[in-house]
Structure 1
Amino acid sequence: MIDARKPLRVLVSEGSSTSGREAVTILGAAGHHVEVCDPSRWCLARYSRLVRKFHHCPPLRSDPAGFLRFVERLLATRRFDVLLPTHEQGFLFARAAARLKPHVGLALPDFSAYRAVHGKAGFSRLLDQLGLPQPPTHIVRSAGELREAVRYPSVVKTSVGTASRGIWFVRDASDLNLALYDLESAGDFAGEVLVQDLITGTTEKAQSVFCRGTLVGFHAYRQIAAGVGGGEAIKESVSRPAIRNYLETIGAHLGWHGALSVDVMMPLDSATPLLIDCNPRLVEPGNAHRAGTDLVDLLLRVSLDETPAPLAESRAGVRTHLAMQALLGSASRDGTRRDIIRECGRIAAGEGPYRDSTEELTPVQLDWLSAVPLAMTAALMLVSPQLAASLARGGFGAHLLDRASIAAIESEGFC
């Protein structure tokens, strides 16, 4: 058995997401040999001195079979100890696990378990089955059903979507008509659409690592300030035993193996956390790492068939931030150039909400190349703050799945 405490050769499945970029930082700082494949030659991970080699690969979204063949060739021609799926590539790898696992360490559950939580509709049904709390939810498949199910205010979500794609906040008839137009134009009623009551409260996230159905690592954080698209710009670690229990229930039921994360709403009028989304992966593990819970290292160990002892609880009150998200968020909220310059100053000086906070996405002191995308983001926002919204929409990259690629991977003859 390979010792996960020694430097490993790790292939990261993409380099465009914030989660993938943070995993690269944690892996590289620990001394591991990190290589990344991505369909974009200018993905975030390209701007890191911690990446030993970059592999330009076919796009997962339009060519999942080509992407899989590319990864298999890499595994056959270059030695890797662990294949680390940091985003939706896990769906493909779980489907093709029998082809991949003989050649590399890989921590993923059975494909049936992965499918159960990959889509929002499936996750909602699982919560009902397990008796776990979520906002009042309806699953619809037509415009007429949506009109009947919606009550103001609501959140409308496509079953497939990530990075805040496919979400509409519906507070009145005008919002509903806009959501219906977007859904019908995109053909989203070919799949399932969720309608949930809009809950007033704060957003939190929790992430975990499982070893054959047993939870071995857990971390939770709350949003202090939002970035563009609702993502976290500033976050702070929290202790959430109730959410840990929710995840333990889900993981044990599914026999989960690998990483599992959930989005949670903490209602203002209730002490019961509500589960609102699930991601079968780690989501931005930098805050957990800073709070003393190295979920990336734990995932490596599980990938190599170790059975690690459960980690101690993270330290609460540890604050981290993503400067790029903070600048984009400031610009997207009708920020002026003066607002953006002021935000840059507060980030650089560690003032206001950034006091005692650590940068987790672009750690310039550790990885000077990460200054490039940060500086480019600041420059673009100063040229035109209105670019923030279009940059956020551009987050739906070729490294992500859509309905067509999901159907292709699920098809009988794919593997």
Structure 2
Amino acid sequence: MPERILVTGARAPAALDIARSLKAAGFEVHMADCVPARMARWSSAATAVHRHASPVHRPAKFAQDIRRLIDRIDPIAVIPTCEEVFHLAAVAKTDGWSEKLIAPPFETLATLHHKGRFAVLCDELGLPVPDTNVVTDSVGLMREALGADVVVKPAWSRFGSQALIKPDAAALERLRPSPEAPWVVQSRVEGEEVSFYAIAHDGILTAFSAYRSDWRTHGGAAYVFIPLAEPVFERLRAMAQTLARFVRKGQFACDAIVDEACRPWLIECNPRATSGVHLFGRSAALGRALLGRDIARPSPGRWRNGIMLDTFGLGDALRAKRLTAWRDERRLSHDILSAPRDPLPPLGALLDAAGFGLRALASGHGLAEAMTADIEWNGQPLTPALWERP
């Protein structure tokens, strides 16, 4: 009987490709989320896709659902892929099953996620990071940012959707930093934005990929993923190995800016799965690497989110007169959603996107915020009392 794995955050394309890799490695894959996750539900990658309550809106019910799910399917490992990782780490510590969770302890996750604390960590580890200051009031924000060549963003944030580059006084006055909602002011490094994704076990890298993108949303999220070449790839890999000794176990990913001297500067970290997963081509080696049983290496080729490229990308191509580049990208890259003998995930992803769009309209927030509002973590205390019986 195959070993069972539980993959959470089933809404994410990265979760789907992780499930495909685990299935290729011979595991029985179960997935879970607090939204319908039709993309995963309609895929052949998972034996079943389970539903649980939102850890943000119904934390006690979330904990109860996770406990029952783990008792029922008895997985050898739980692999988070989105920001539910913070809530799972807290529940796992309370309930005593942290060894099953493919993620570092909660405090390690918090250090990586907080942009100011991550910068301090990089300084301590000797990794290049721009000058970064945390501000918790408007006076400090004005003092650090006004008239300076800086990037300003919330310490707890994602997708770059709230980042401001060299903001003026009017933009700064609209911000409300506080001790509960700090912001960071980071010196701006000019160059190309790149990203890497890594898996660590016992402080050693078991998987690493690095990529850039010529296609991004206006918030900065990439939807085409182009593998990086030497020497930047190896420089980033060395940085990831240094971080792996701190992370010890689990997935982590970083964004960096490569300056004109070809030197990468780390700017922030995401302690979860990211689009770098796709560069492994759904290999069985990645599935085993997630459990520390193999070393996975990225496959050649570029990847795209076909739905994003055909919608946002086409619009951008028409505006910027890049239709030839758009056609070439569709021809040269592989789609992250579709796969041989697995044709339905793109349709499921469209319906999932429509559902998140309706949430965004109802809440008055942007699509990016609507996609994470029910699972994200922004520094609020996660205490055992939250997980008591609903």
TM-score category (smaller protein): 0.7 to 0.9
Matches within 5 A, 1:257-272: 257-267=249-259, 269-272=260-263
Which one of the candidate residues 183, 192, 198 is aligned to 1:193? Answer: 183
For each residue in 1:215-257, what CA deviation from the matched residue of structure 2 results, as whole angstroms up to 9, or x when unmatched? Answer: 23222112232235212221111241111111222222x2511
**Shift in CA distance, 170/264, structure 1 to aligned 2, threshold 3 Å:** closer
Secondary structure of 1:92 counterpart:
helix
Please say which of residues 207-216 and 44-53 is displaced more in the overlay: 44-53
Amino acid at match of 1:62: H
- Report if the CA contact (8 A) 1:80-1:104 is conserved: no
- Report if the CA contact (8 A) 1:157-1:168 is conserved: yes
Counterpart in the other structure of 1:369: 344
- Report if the CA contact (8 A) 1:285-1:295 is conserved: no
- Report if the CA contact (8 A) 2:134-2:184 is conserved: yes
**Shift in CA distance, 395/10, structure 1 to aligned 2, threshold 3 Å:** same
TM-score (norm 1): 0.78
**Shift in CA distance, 106/376, structure 1 to aligned 2, threshold 3 Å:** closer
**Shift in CA distance, 332/376, structure 1 to aligned 2, threshold 3 Å:** farther
Displacement after TM superposition at 1:140 (Å): 0.9
2:334 aligned with 1:358, yes or no?
yes
- Report if the CA contact (8 A) 2:21-2:283 is conserved: no
Displacement after TM superposition at 1:206 (Å): 1.1
User: Aligned equivalents of 1:15 and 1:309: distance in 2?
Assistant: 24
For each residue in 1:141-195, what CA deviation from the matched residue of structure 2 results, as whole angstroms up to 9, or x when unmatched? Answer: 1111111111444321111122334x2223342xx533542x32xx655332111
User: Aligned equivalents of 1:400 and 1:86: distance in 2?
Assistant: 12
Counterpart in the other structure of 1:242: 235
Counterpart in the other structure of 1:155: 151
- Report if the CA contact (8 A) 2:89-2:105 is conserved: yes
2:15 aligned with 1:25, yes or no?
no
2:38 aligned with 1:54, yes or no?
no
Matches within 5 A, 1:16-415: 16-42=11-37, 44-98=39-93, 102=97, 105-150=100-145, 151-165=147-161, 167-173=162-168, 176-181=169-174, 183-184=175-176, 190-227=180-217, 229-239=219-229, 240-252=233-245, 254=246, 256-267=248-259, 269-290=260-281, 294-299=285-290, 301-302=291-292, 308=293, 310-311=295-296, 313-315=297-299, 318-330=301-313, 333=316, 351-360=327-336, 362-363=337-338, 365-373=340-348, 390-403=366-379, 406-407=380-381, 409=382, 411=383, 413=385
How many pairs align?
A: 375
TM-score (norm 2): 0.83
**Shift in CA distance, 377/401, structure 1 to aligned 2, threshold 3 Å:** closer
Amino acid at match of 1:221: Y
User: Aligned equivalents of 1:68 and 1:366: distance in 2?
Assistant: 35
User: Aligned equivalents of 2:378 and 2:353: distance in 1?
Assistant: 30
- Report if the CA contact (8 A) 2:10-2:37 is conserved: no
Please say which of residues 78-87 and 49-58 is displaced more in the overlay: 49-58
Counterpart in the other structure of 2:358: none
The sequence identity of aligned pairs, in percent, is 21
Counterpart in the other structure of 1:3: none
User: Aligned equivalents of 1:292 and 1:354: distance in 2?
Assistant: 22
**Shift in CA distance, 292/42, structure 1 to aligned 2, threshold 3 Å:** closer
User: Aligned equivalents of 1:371 and 1:228: distance in 2?
Assistant: 22
- Report if the CA contact (8 A) 2:24-2:287 is conserved: no
Secondary structure of 1:261 counterpart:
strand
Amino acid at match of 2:237: R
- Report if the CA contact (8 A) 1:14-1:87 is conserved: yes
- Report if the CA contact (8 A) 2:38-2:349 is conserved: no
User: Aligned equivalents of 2:282 and 2:258: distance in 1?
Assistant: 21
User: Aligned equivalents of 2:205 and 2:37: distance in 1?
Assistant: 36
**Shift in CA distance, 171/56, structure 1 to aligned 2, threshold 3 Å:** same
Q: Which runs of 5+ in 1 are unaligned?
A: 1-5, 303-307, 381-385
Displacement after TM superposition at 1:374 (Å): 5.4
User: Aligned equivalents of 1:325 and 1:413: distance in 2?
Assistant: 41
- Report if the CA contact (8 A) 1:204-1:264 is conserved: yes
Displacement after TM superposition at 1:210 (Å): 1.4
- Report if the CA contact (8 A) 1:22-1:284 is conserved: no
For each residue in 1:292-326, what CA deviation from the matched residue of structure 2 results, as whole angstroms up to 9, or x when unmatched? Answer: 69434311x23xxxxx4645x545x5211111222
Q: Which runs of 5+ in 2 are unaligned?
A: 356-360
- Report if the CA contact (8 A) 2:141-2:172 is conserved: no
Displacement after TM superposition at 1:270 (Å): 2.4
Amino acid at match of 2:130: P
- Report if the CA contact (8 A) 1:61-1:402 is conserved: no
- Report if the CA contact (8 A) 1:205-1:262 is conserved: yes
**Shift in CA distance, 94/332, structure 1 to aligned 2, threshold 3 Å:** farther
User: Aligned equivalents of 2:127 and 2:163: distance in 1?
Assistant: 24
- Report if the CA contact (8 A) 1:209-1:260 is conserved: yes
